[in-house]
Amino acid sequence: NAGVTQTPKFRILKIGQSMTLQCTQDMNHNYMYWYRQDPGMGLKLIYYSVGAGITDKGEVPNGYNVSRSTTEDFPLRLELAAPSQTSVYFCSARGAGPNEQFFGPGTRLTVL
Amino acid sequence: GQNIDQPTEMTATEGAIVQINCTYQTSGFNGLFWYQQHAGEAPTFLSYNVLDGLEEKGRFSSFLSRSKGYSYLLLKELQMKDSASYLCEGDGSNYQLIWGAGTKLIIKP
C-alpha cells in the first residue's frame, strides 16, 4: 500500500516548456487535490477532483490544467512554464466527508 | 470571504507546553484539521475537530469553538523533533479547503 505517489521528485524547466506532474493513489479515495507551496508559505489549492471525470478550480488555477480519467490518477499539466510557477507541488487524496488528507512526497519544480 | 489566520512563528523550550492558535472564517464549516510539516517534507495529519471541545491524542490535543471561529493545538512535553511547521486547515462549503500559512515552531534545549 504505497498511499499517494508523485513523479518526478525534482524538475528544472525552461520558460515556455510544458510538463505533466503525475499523481497516483492506491487508497480508492474519491477526493484528490493539487497544491503549490512557495517557500515559507502555506498551501494554495490549484485544482481538485471529487471523483473520476469531475474536476474544479481552486484558489490559483491559472497556468495549470488537470484531468481525472480514473480514480487512481490525477495529473497536473503546465502548458507554458513561467518563473512564477517555481514552487513545491503536493498532491493529496482523502475519503468522503471531513477526513484527513494523505499527501504525496511532493515535486520540486524550478522554472528558469 | 474565507480566511484562516495563525501566528507566523513561535519559540518554546524542550519539555514545556505550547499552544498554537488558529482563527477562521469560512462559508459553511465541515471541520478543522491540524497538520505537521517538517522542513522539506509533506504535511502529515495530526488531529481533527468538527464539534466544540477538546480532542486528545497523546502529547497533542486540539480544541475547537465553532461560535468563536477559533481553534488551538496544544503540544505537551515538547521534544526537539517537534520543531516543524503546524498548519491549520478548514473544510468549507463546496469541497473548498482553506489553509493557514502555517506556524513555524522552534524548540530550544
For residues A1 and A28, what is the distance between their CA atoms, to the nearest angstrom?
11
In 3D space, the residue among A79, A33, A27, A78 whose CA is nearest the CA of residue A57 turns out to be A33
Interface list for chain A against chain B, based on CB atoms closer than 8 Å? 31, 33, 35, 41-45, 48, 50, 56, 58, 90, 97-98, 100-106
Residue B94 pLDDT class (50, 70, 90 cuts): low
CB burial of residue A68 (10 Å; 0-12, 13-18, 19+): buried
Q: Which residue of B has its CA nearest to A37?
A: B101
B16 bridge partner residues:
none
**Helices of type H across chain A:** none
| Distance in Å, alpha carbon of B3 to nearest chain A alpha carbon | 12
CA B109, B80, B22, B3 dihedral sign is positive
Looking up cell 520540486 gives: A108
Give residue B96's pLDDT band: very low, low, confident or very high (50, 70, 90): confident
Q: What is the rounded radius of gyration, in angstroms, for the C-alpha atoms of chain B?
A: 13
For B42-62, how does the pLDDT look when each residue is reduced to its tens digit (9 = 90+)? Answer: 999 999 998 999 999 899 999
Q: What percent of chain A has pLDDT over 90?
A: 88
Residue B35, min C-alpha distance to chain A (Å)? 9
Chains A, B: CB pairs < 8 Å: 49
Distance CA A28, CA A36 (A): 23
If you average pLDDT over residues A54-73, what whole number do you get?
95
Please report residues of B whose CB lies closer than 8 A to that of A50: 95
Q: Pairing relation of β-strands A64-66 and A54-57? A: unpaired
Q: What is the pLDDT of residues A6-61, one digit of tens each?
A: 999 999 999 999 999 999 999 999 999 999 999 888 899 999 999 999 999 998 99
